[in-house]
């Protein structure tokens, strides 16, 4: 049996996927009103704009802003069927179900996030840089435990750009709790 079944415009996801994405939904919901709205994505872009490499006016700042606000546009166009400017968790799950059909958008997001958190621009993400990624997504410090060790499959102490992209894609698409990419934004339930 497939873990994801389409019911109308919404997706019936496994409890694992719902738990994983609920944490992201809560992190994105800046005002805590239970919906994602355009203002939440503006706040998310502002939060990412505070990272050291994402200097105001820089090309990277424009990319971060464009990618994060672009996801609001994608949500609004793809799953906000009543056009009320509000996305609930079921809508977000429906969008995630569409991600395999737009892999270039997932990869572009991974590339931009990689560049934003690669503070020393050495082309790899260290344990500390990964921690900043998690804290930035959640908008607060999050205990990541051994998450980085699970992500760093070759145990070299870093995530390369290709490793990062694969793990990023796993996070957003995987419904398999054993895949390490599910820890990309922190331990499941860290929201």
pLDDT of residue 5: 29
What is the chain's length?
Answer: 191
Task: Name the 3-class secondary structure at 46.
Answer: helix
Residue 9 has pLDDT above 70, yes or no: no
Dihedral of the alpha carbons of 90, 76, 37, 67, in degrees to the nearest 10: 110
Q: What is the pLDDT of residues 43-84, one digit of tens each?
A: 999 999 999 999 888 999 999 999 999 999 999 998 988 899
- Burial of 101 (C-beta count, 10 Å sphere; 0-12/13-18/19+): exposed
CA atoms within 13 A on the CB side of 119: 12
Q: What is the pLDDT of residues 104-158, one digit of tens each?
A: 889 899 999 999 999 999 999 999 999 999 999 888 999 999 999 999 999 999 9
pLDDT of residue 3: 33
Residue 23 has pLDDT above 90, yes or no: no
Average pLDDT over residues 101-105: 87
Task: Name the 3-class secondary structure at 189.
Answer: coil
What pTM was computed for the model? 0.86
Residue 4 has pLDDT above 60, yes or no: no
**Residues near 57 by Cβ (< 8 Å), separated by ≥ 6?**
none
pLDDT of residue 6: 32
């Amino acid at each position: 049996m497939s873990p994801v079944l389409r019911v109308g415009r919404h997706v019936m996801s496994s409890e694992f996927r719902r738990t994983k994405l609920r944490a992201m939904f809560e992190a994105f919901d800046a005002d805590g009103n239970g919906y994602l709205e355009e203002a939440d994505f503006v706040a998310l872009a502002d939060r990412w704009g505070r990272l050291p490499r994402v200097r105001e006016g820089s090309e990277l700042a424009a990319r971060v802003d464009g990618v994060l606000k672009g996801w609001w546009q994608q949500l609004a166009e793809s799953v906000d069927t009543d056009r009320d400017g509000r996305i609930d968790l079921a809508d977000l799950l429906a969008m995630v179900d569409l991600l395999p059909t737009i892999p270039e958008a997932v990869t572009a997001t991974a590339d931009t996030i990689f560049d934003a958190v690669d503070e020393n621009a050495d082309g790899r993400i260290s344990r500390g840089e990964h921690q900043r990624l998690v804290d930035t997504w959640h908008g607060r410090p999050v205990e990541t435990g051994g998450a980085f060790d699970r992500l760093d499959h070759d145990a070299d102490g870093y995530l390369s750009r290709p490793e990062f992209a694969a793990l990023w894609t796993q996070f957003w698409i995987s419904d398999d709790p054993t895949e390490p990419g599910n820890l990309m934004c922190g331990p499941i339930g860290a929201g």
